[in-house]
Amino acid sequence: MIARARATVLAIAIAAGILAGLGWRIGLAADGASHISGWLVALVAAAIAGVAGLLAIETVRRPLRELAASMHDVVRDTSRRVAVPESSANDEARTVTEWFNFVAIDADQSHRALARERVLLSAVAEGLTQGVIAVDAEHRVELLNDAARAMLGVTSTPVGEPLIELVRVPELFALLDSEQNASAEVQLQSGHRTLIRVARKWGGDGRVLLLEDVTAMRRLETVRRDFVANVSHELRTPVAVIRANAETLLAGAANDPVMGARLIDGLHRNAERLARILADLLDLSRLDAGQYRLSAVPVELRSAIDSALTAVETKAAQREIFVEIAVADGLRVTADPKALDQVLVNLVDNAVKYTRTNGHVWIEAHPDGSSIRIEVRDDGPGIAKKHHERLFERFYRADPSRSREAGGTGLGLSIVKHLAESMDGAVGVEANTPTGSTFWLRLPRSP
């Protein structure tokens, strides 16, 4: 703009000079004066016009330049304001400055409000335990919070990238294409069971996906459902036998010396069984409520195992099962002696019960850091891996027919788990190689 004005001023000055020179020459030609002085006058006139023009331009140019520099600072830092140019105290440049500042303050306020919203939104999104994914109409990621990243195994911050480059869960994309608000439950590769819900984004074509981890909830539902089914079954069987036997006895079988005795024996055995189940349930509920007071004293492990073994000796001998103990003398754990005995008897009894006739049971103990790991291994048929996780649930049966036949209440391992945890220990199960199972118990080591 200034350059164009400058060229215009120069052209006007030259034209003014030429015109002045021509006028002078025409005036002098009549007098017959010199041509040279005419051109000189023209040159001087042009110079004066030019300088005057350039000075005028400069008075406009300086405030404009100051204004531009000031505006540049404002663009870089929105908290600054444009200063009124020193060289123009009270003219159009000042008006421009004031209007610019007005717009700048407005923009600054909107900018700050937006930034606050963004911080709030990301704080909310990141704080959620639910996964949140927002995508635009082209299925490009606009937001993906930490929870969603963890569930889907995404490590980057992929804003602007197509979602399909990060996630390929079929159900998730089917939901994105569905018209109305819909949901689906999927098993993700990370092992999470996830409920995905999709919602249309307000004021846009994109979608918002909400991912909720329902793994624990579904597992609890299954445990509860199975517990109710199993506890009814466990109680119903002995009750049915007792009732049937009692009815038969009342109907006259009491007078039959052979049948009567058998029926009474059945009554007794099943009443015993009911009593055992109820005692176990009572123990469990006491453990759950924290009413089961345990002491924590140093216990010599080898002698604890030896005494637990006496409880299963007869059974092992009947089934010709060879029990081998490899526990060094002097190993001591911190435990409640009575609870430890209950745990050990339970684990060894299970091993003897479920291994094959002529089978082997090994009991070993090794120090493992600040704890001691006790292993009870057998070479029986083993337990399918899918049951491992649920084996310590109340009344859970890996093979219902076999375990009832073996006479368990279905609560033994559940009690073992509770007792071990009450003694700051843990229990677990692994497959033994080549066959059988390994039940391990970890307890704090005593000095």
Partner 1 sequence: MTAHTSKEFDQELRTLRERLATMGERAGNQIALAMRALGDQDDEQARAVIAGDVVIDRDENEIDELALQILATRQPVASDLRFLTMALKFVTDLERIGDLASGIAKRALELNRVPRFDSRVDLGPLATLVMRNLQAALDAFVKRDAEKAKSVIVADVEIDRLNASLFAELLAHVAADPATVTRVLPMTSVCRYLERAGDHVKNLAEQVVYMVSAMDVRHRPFLPHRN
Residue closer to partner 1 (CB basis): 19 or 174: 174
Q: How far is the CB of 153 from partner 1 (least distance, A)?
A: 11
Residue closer to partner 1 (CB basis): 92 or 177: 177
Q: How far is the CB of 319 from partner 1 (least distance, A)?
A: 22
Q: Site residues (CB under 8 A) for partner 1?
A: 138-139, 162, 164-165, 168-170, 173-174, 177, 189, 384-386, 434-435
Residue closer to partner 1 (CB basis): 383 or 427: 383
| Contact of 53 with 9, CB cutoff 8 Å | yes
Describe the crossing of helices 92-127 and 35-76 by its angle, rounded to 10 degrees.
Answer: 30
Residue closer to partner 1 (CB basis): 170 or 203: 170
How many whole angstroms separate alpha carbon 60 and alpha carbon 195? 68
Q: How far is the CB of 152 from partner 1 (least distance, A)?
A: 12
Residue closer to partner 1 (CB basis): 170 or 330: 170
DSSP string, 71-82: HHHHHH-TT--P
Angle at 418 between CA 412 and CA 424, to 5 degrees: 135
Q: How far is the CB of 54 from partner 1 (least distance, A)?
A: 51
Query: Minimal CA–CA distance to 386: which of 395, 377, 396?
Result: 396
Residue closer to partner 1 (CB basis): 162 or 204: 162
Q: How far is the CB of 166 from partner 1 (least distance, A)?
A: 9
Q: How far is the CB of 168 from partner 1 (least distance, A)?
A: 4
Neighbours of 212 (CB within 10 A): 19
In our burial notation (b when 16+ CB lie closer than 10 A, e otherwise), range 377-386 reads: bbbbebbeee
Omega cis (within 30) before 434: yes
Structure tokens of 139?
A: 């299925």
Give the three-class secondary structure for 378: strand
